[in-house]
Amino acid sequence: MKKSKSLVKPKKNLGQHFLKSSDVAKKIVDCLNTKNISSILEIGPGMGILTEHIINLSKKSYFIEIDKESATYLKEKFKQIEDNIVEKDFLKIDLKNFKSPIGVIGNFPYNISSQIIFKVIDNRNLVDKVVGMFQLEVAKRICENPGTKSYGIISVLVQAFYETKFEFMLEPEYFNPPPKVDSGVISLKRRKEKSLNCNENLFFKIVKLSFQQRRKTLRNSLKIFNLSNNIKEDVIFDKRPETLSVKDFVHLTNIIANENISA
Ligand code: SAH
């Protein structure tokens, strides 16, 4: 008789909320358009409810799981992908080790979901697509338009490099154990335009500095650049960061870069 498999006990500190419905799992995996993708990385496969559908895509796939108990469970459940189950912390792995363009997918552990996104942004020339489950608030913030309360650093930085799409939301009862918050699935697709037409490091710095004091005008927040009065008369400096689109931030970056060159 086949030995029955033990189930993984959910661990709070690892953000383990297991999705219960295989139909929903399929719906998530279907959001990943694998055209032009060379490898798929699933973050946090857990007990493999998404994994099952990812395997059916017949693409080179890797399953990154920090939890030993889950990894052991998965290796037994999916013998055919045993060698592709990587027992590591996603935040610590080098994405250069995987064939790009990479598609990243997962029902992300909510405690590190922003860090996952910032890692994707750092590796934007390797990661072409992302499909991820986030806590609803974060999912919405990533896709948010300028001029709204939740528009912030993560919205600008993601949208600078990726087209975003809010796919659907899920209530807590779809998970075991249910999280305290609603969840949302979003997808990201790398923009065709690969560079921003400005100094990207300076762009990052300006976006972060601007939002550190989101109630202040840019004239105030960007004092550190010692801008000349002439430049500071530009109406863009009267604005607050949440009203600026990615294009506006690129424009602002170029104004500041030019000033620093000519100074
Ligand atoms: N995909 C599964 C599990 C989601 S819960 C499902 O949908 O049911 C989040 C998963 O991420 C857990 O399995 C957890 O162990 C894993 N995880 C948490 N932190 C991680 C990290 N830093 N790197 C890789 N996996 C992580």
Cβ burial 172-209 (10 Å sphere, 16+ → b, else e):
eebbeeebeeebbbbbbbbeeeeebebbeebbbbbbeb
Please check whether residue 55 is in contact with residue 116, taking contact to mean a CB–CB distance below 8 angstroms: no
Please tell me the predicted confidence (pLDDT) of residue 90.
Answer: 98
Q: List pLDDT tens digits, range 42-91.
A: 999 999 999 999 999 999 999 999 999 999 999 999 999 999 999 999 99
d(CA 116, CA 249): 23
For residue 73, what pLDDT is reported?
A: 97
> Poorest-confidence range of 22-36, 86-100, 228-242?
228-242
Please indicate whether residue 132, judged by its CB atom, sits closer than 6 Å to ligand 1: no
Query: Is the pLDDT score of 5 beyond 70?
Result: no
pLDDT, one tens digit per residue, over 22-32 is: 999 999 999 99
Q: Which residue from 11, 13, 18, 176 has its CB within 8 A of the most atoms of ligand 1, so it is best to mutate?
A: 18
For residue 259, what pLDDT is reported? 82
- The residue type found at 212 is Q
DSSP calls for 21-75: -HHHHHHHHHT---TT-SEEEEE--TT-TTHHHHHTT-S-EEEE---HHHHHHHH
Q: Which tens digits make up the pLDDT trace of 125-156?
A: 999 999 999 999 999 999 999 999 999 999 99
**98 has pLDDT over 80:** yes
Average pLDDT over residues 194-209: 96
Domains (ranges, CATH) in the chain? 12-190 (3.40.50.150), 200-257 (1.10.8.100)
Q: Is the CB of 17 under 6 A from ligand 1?
A: yes
pLDDT at 175 exceeding the cut of 60: yes
Q: How many CB atoms lie within 10 A of CB 137?
A: 14
187 with 29: CB under 8 angstroms?
Answer: no
Q: What is the pTM of this model?
A: 0.95
Counting atoms of ligand 1 from 1, which one is nearest the CA of 17? 5
Please tell me if the CB atom of residue 120 comes closer than 6 angstroms to any atom of ligand 1.
no
Residue 263, pLDDT score: 52
**4 pLDDT above the threshold of 60:** no
Contacts of 153 (CB under 8 A, 6+ apart): 207, 208, 211
Whole-number Cα distances in Å, 37 to 58, 96, 159:
11, 14, 20
- CB distance 62 to 86 below 8 Å: yes
Please tell me if the CB atom of residue 54 comes closer than 6 angstroms to any atom of ligand 1: no
Q: Of 7, 57, 9, 13, which Cα lies nearest the Cα of 37?
A: 57
Mean pLDDT across 238-262: 91
Mean pLDDT, residues 111-122 taken together = 97
